Structure formats: structure tokens, C-alpha cells
Structure 1
Amino acid sequence: MFEIFDDRIEFTSPGIPLMDPKRFVDTPPQSRNEALASVMRRTGICEERGSGWDKIVFQTEYHQLPAPLVEVTENHTRVVLFAHQPLTKMDKDDRVRAIYLHACLRYVTRQHTTNTSVRERFGIAPKNSAQASRLIREAVAVGVIAPFDADAAPKLRRYVPEWASGGVTNSGM
């Protein structure tokens, strides 16, 4: 089911995801019904690569929209896509979710999250880099991203999703 509102679109599907929603960007695709999925791929209804979520995250970043919200209950999954909203109108949860998904998307494309990338994601002017630093600190404090190189000077620091921080070395991703 999908519902269209003035400020958002909500997609609700029966069942719960086969993977943790926090890992939609980097987890390989899985299918509940491979026979049905195969027919849908052959008829062009869906693609096989499992890149749909990556495309959604990329487009929300490209258009500087609030990050999608995934809600999982006992019996269903809901994804909410929000209409444009200036950064000043986003609440803390929206900002943290956006930084987290930004870090995930950058990680799977072999890039790090930086002050510069966060400024680009939100359309923040270079002279307001302190605002991007505050957003990064907010996400680090909540524990959704972590420094890739904690010993680097603050201006040179790079970040990865928290789940990628355990096995990361300074020599590569």
C-alpha cells in the first residue's frame, strides 16, 4: 500500500525485512520468493542487483531531501519518503538519519564522509563549515557514525558508518 500526503509518501508492505534496515545500503539482496523475483526480473518490473535502496538514498541526497525513514513493526514494514525541508526545519532524528545514510552511501562507493561531503549533502556554504561539524558531532554522539582516523586533526577527519568502524584500518576500507 502507498499513501500520498502533502509532506510525505508512505509505502507499507506486509512482513518484516530479511535484513537489518540499518544495513539496507550495504547488504547483498535477498529474496523471499526467488521464483516470483525471477519472473519480475525477466519482465522488467524489477532489477536483480538490489540497488533500489541505494538509488533512493542517492536521490534524496542529490535533491537535499530528508533521509527516508524505515519503520518495522511486528507484521509490516513502512518506508516514508519526505518532501523537501530545509535543514533548519529538520529535527535531530532527521539530521542524524541523513548523516548516517550519507556515511553508508559514501562507504559503499569507497569514499569517506567528511565535513566537505556533509556540506555538499545539505547545501551548506563552505564559510559555514562549523554547521557541518555540529551535524557530524551529533551523529557521532548518537553512535551511528565513527571516526575513520580518530588521530587526525579535526579538519582532516573522515568518518564511516559505525558498523564499518571495527575492521577499518588507516590503510584502506
Structure 2
Amino acid sequence: MLYSMISRHDFEAAINCAHEAGRRAATSGLNAPLGAALLDRVAEVWDHIEAALRKAYQFGVEQAQDLLRTAVDQAENLLREAKARAESVEQQLQERLQGYLSGLLDRALQGVRSALTVGETRLGLVGIDVSQKITLTGSLKVSISELVALTGAGELTVVARYDVPGVIQQ
């Protein structure tokens, strides 16, 4: 098993994926697009979520607890304020959270080497197993908390299997 850390570059790429997911969700996929005022509020809530993710990334999940609580409170307040549009607002936020998670996973997989050399033998990649328990549920509180925990102290395990090309395993 090989381990690697989430680099600042990887983290920023995942944040960018969340921003892109938010832009896509704002223009498609919703039953009726959100108005400018609600989109602005979604962006404000995302700023709180992003602040919690950044603090967790840099200082750990414990140091991000206050920002996490603020982000969750802001998200829940927005859902209450949105009333009839709450489902669309929630979808907007979930799309961003999923974009961030997908970005992190993609960056982790990009770090897997396609081959290893051990002594004189070159081993080629034959498979990858990814293991991470994270729940993006209907609860924004749980989803936001899970992503902050993953960013600050979580473990995404990528197990790459290598073998000598052309050798048949028994």
C-alpha cells in the first residue's frame, strides 16, 4: 500500500471542482433556476463551507470546529429562508460538496503510479481499490461535517495492485 498526502495544489484543485460544480448546477439540472438573490446566498454559504475546509486542511478538524458550526448554521438558515425553493438550494450546495469530493478523489487517483520498478523488475498497474467511508446524505449538516473531517483528518485509502506484465498468476 502506498500513501500520499493531499498537497495544497490537490486541495485547491478540489475547491475549484466545487466552484465549477456550482456554476454548472446554477445553469442546469434544476427544475427552475434559482434567482440571483438565492444564488448569491448559496455563494455566501459556500464561502463559509470553504472557510471551514481551508481551516481543516491547514490546521486540522479540531481547529475548524467554529467555522464548521457557522457553515452548518448558515446552510440551515438558508434552507429555512428559501422555503419553497429549499430543495433547489439544497441541490446547489450538494452539487458543490460532491464536486469537492470528486476533485479530491480524482487528485488522489492521479497520484497513483502506472508502474513501479523493484530492482530490475518493472511492475505494471493491474488494479486499484479505493476505500473511504463518507456519507453525503440529505442532511447538509452531516455532508458538510463529513467533508471537513475528511479534509482535516480523514484518510482516503487508494490501494494499487502491481504485477509483472505477461506473468499469469495462479
Q: TM-score, normalised by structure 1?
A: 0.29
Which of the pair is proportionally richer in helix? 2
Of the two structures, which has the highest relative contact order with CA contacts closer than 8 Å and spacing of 6 or more?
Answer: 2
TM-score for the superposition, normalised by structure 2: 0.30
Larger CA Rg, structure 1 vs 2: 2
